[in-house]
Structure 1
C-alpha cells in the first residue's frame, strides 16, 4: 500500500519513474554475400550480451534496405560483424557514407575486411583489404599500444588461435595500430589458385582505429572461431572499439 501511495503521489507531482535510456545505439549488420561464418549466431548473442552489460542498444539486422538515411538517424554506430561480399547497393552505400560523414562511428569485425572490396571509400573506412589466409593455427599476438580502450585483459604477448588474415597495403593514412601477429610464430603460406600468400613481413597488423571522413572507424581481424566470442578478453576488445566509435572517448593519455 505504501508503494502504491508513493506512485500515486508522484504522479500528482509530475515525477517520472522512467529509467534512463541506454548510452548509445548500435546497428549490428551481418549480411553475407560471400563466405558465411558459422560463428555469426553466437557472435550476435555475445554482442547483445555486451549491450546488456554495458547499457547500450543492439539492433541486429541482415536487411540492407535498413541502411538508409532515415533509419540510420537513430544509431551512433554501424557494426559490420562477419559480413562478406557485396552487401550494399549504391543507394545504401551513399547512406552509410553520409552516416560516417555526419560524425558517427563504424566497427568492423573479421571478414568486414572481405566486404565491399570494389568500393574504394569502404576500403579506406576499414583501412586494409583482406587478400588471403592460411589454415587456422596458433600464433603470437602482440599488443602494440595500450592507449586504446578494451585491452586491459590482453597481455603484451600471448598465444592466440585464429584465422590469420593477410592484408593488402593500407588504403588510407593515419591508421592507429593496436594489435599485431608475429609471422615468425606461424606458417603464413597459402595458395588459392593464382592468389598466393606472400606474408606481410616484420609488421603484420591485426587491429587498428582511425578518424575518417568526419567519423570514427575501428577494425579487428580477430573473431573467426565461434568459441572466441566466449572469451571475455576478446569481448572487452570489441567493446573498446564500439565505445570509442560511438563516443570518441576512452583513449588513454598515458604512455
Structure 2
C-alpha cells in the first residue's frame, strides 16, 4: 500500500510539473544543408540552365548549404537521395527517369523529401501521373518572351514576402494544361491583361503544396538567363528551397478563390481609385486602402490594347460619360465606345488610360482631390496610375 501511495504521489508531482512548465516546445526545423540540382533534358534545352546552377550554388555559399549538380538519372537511388533535403528539377524536359528511378524519387518524397520545380520542370514526365501531381500542372503553351505583371497573392510566405505586390518583369510565360489552384497554395499569379498570349484567365504562376508525404514548391519563372542575377528572383528561389526542405514553415494548403479584381492607385496622391455610393458616385482616387469591393475592378481585355473596367462593387462598366465631358462613373451594363479605354504602359511601370470616346487621358484631377475625368491631351504625373493585385 505504501509503495502504491508513493507511486501515486510521484505521478502527481510529475503531472504538476508538466502543468507548470506547459507543453513541450516543438523542435526547431532543421536548417537546409544539402541540395541536389537535377537538369537532365530529353526535349528542349534552356540556355539558362548553367545560370540556374550557378545561382543556386551562390545561394548555397551565402546560406550554408552545399549544392550538387547532376544530369545523371542514375543518381536517383534510395541511398543517394536520402542525403538531400531538396531535389531541384531545374528546367528538365521530357522523359528523364526510368521506372526504377521514378520509384526511388516517389519514396524519397514519401519519406518527407522536398521538391523544387523551376520553369520547364512542368514540361517533364507527361506519362507519370504522380509527377504531374507533384509539379502541380503540366505545360501547355507559351507566347513570346515579354514583360508582364506578376501579382503576389500570398505575401506571408518566405518566397514572396520581399516582393512588391505587383512585380513587373520579362520572362517566358507558361500556360498550363490545368489550373492547379484546387490542390496547391497559389503564391503568385499573372495579370493576363498586362501581356499578350495568356489563355487561363485565373493564371497561377508560382505555388507550393504538401504532397504525398513531402513538400513541393514550383515557379513558372526562370526561362531567361537574366533571371538568375535578379536579386528578387534568387531570393524567391531561396525561399522555395527553404519551404521544400521544411527549414522554414509555410502554409501550403489550398485556397480555392483567386484574388478578386485589380486595384488602381493614383501616382498623384498614392490613393486607390474608389467607386463611391455603391456605384452612384463618380470615381475618385481617395481611398487609403483597398479594403472593399469599391476599390476593385475587373480589367476586361477588349483586344488591340483596349480594356474596359468593370466595378466589383456593382458589376457595371466604367464610362467616360457624355463622350468624356463628365467625370468617370461605373453605371453601364455593356461596353461601347464610352466604356473603352486604351491601356498605355509607361516606362516607369505605371499605366495610363485613354478614353476612346474623345482620345483624352484619364486624370486624377486636382492631384486626386477631384473626380477622375478623361480630359488631358498628354500624360503627366496626374495621369499615371499603379495597377495592383
TM-score range, shorter chain: 0.7 to 0.9
Give the equivalent residue in structure 2 for 1:108.
117
Q: Shift of residue 172 of structure 1?
A: 8.3
Give the equivalent residue in structure 2 for 1:224.
223
Give the equivalent residue in structure 2 for 1:185.
194
Q: 1:172 to 1:154 in 2, by over 3 A?
A: closer
Give the equivalent residue in structure 1 for 2:279.
none
Q: 1:173 to 1:181 in 2, by over 3 A?
A: closer
Give the equivalent residue in structure 2 for 1:236.
235
Larger radius of gyration: 2
Q: 1:92 aligns with which of 101, 106, 126?
A: 101
Give the equivalent residue in structure 2 for 1:169.
178
Q: TM-score, normalised by structure 1?
A: 0.83
Question: Are residues 1:57 and 2:66 paired?
Answer: yes
Question: Are residues 1:68 and 2:77 paired?
Answer: yes
In the alignment, is the contact (CA less than 8 A) between 2:150 and 2:190 conserved in 1? yes
Q: Shift of residue 174 of structure 1?
A: 2.7
Q: Shift of residue 67 of structure 1?
A: 0.5
Give the equivalent residue in structure 2 for 1:3.
none
Give the equivalent residue in structure 1 for 2:364.
none
Question: Are residues 1:127 and 2:136 paired?
Answer: yes
In the alignment, is the contact (CA less than 8 A) between 1:137 and 1:186 conserved in 2? yes
In the alignment, is the contact (CA less than 8 A) between 1:132 and 1:167 conserved in 2? yes
Q: Shift of residue 76 of structure 1?
A: 0.8
CA distance in 2, matches of 1:180, 1:150: 14
Question: Are residues 1:200 and 2:204 paired?
Answer: no
In the alignment, is the contact (CA less than 8 A) between 2:32 and 2:242 conserved in 1? no
CA distance in 1, matches of 2:148, 2:82: 41
1:180-221 C-alpha deviation (Å, 9 max, x unpaired): 1111111116xxxxxxxxx001x1010000000000000000
Q: Shift of residue 173 of structure 1?
A: 4.2
Aligned length: 222
Give the equivalent residue in structure 2 for 1:214.
213
CA distance in 1, matches of 2:116, 2:94: 17
CA distance in 2, matches of 1:218, 1:147: 15
CA distance in 1, matches of 2:125, 2:111: 21
Question: Are residues 1:77 and 2:77 paired?
Answer: no
Tell me which of the two structures has the higher relative contact order, counting C-alpha pairs closer than 8 angstroms and 6 or more residues apart: 1
Give the equivalent residue in structure 2 for 1:16.
none
Q: 1:152 to 1:135 in 2, by over 3 A?
A: same
In the alignment, is the contact (CA less than 8 A) between 1:216 and 1:248 conserved in 2? no
Secondary structure at the aligned position of 1:179 is classed as: strand
1:155-198 C-alpha deviation (Å, 9 max, x unpaired): 00132110000001146843000011111111116xxxxxxxxx
Q: Shift of residue 248 of structure 1?
A: 5.2
Q: 2:167 aligns with which of 140, 152, 158?
A: 158
CA distance in 1, matches of 2:51, 2:193: 31
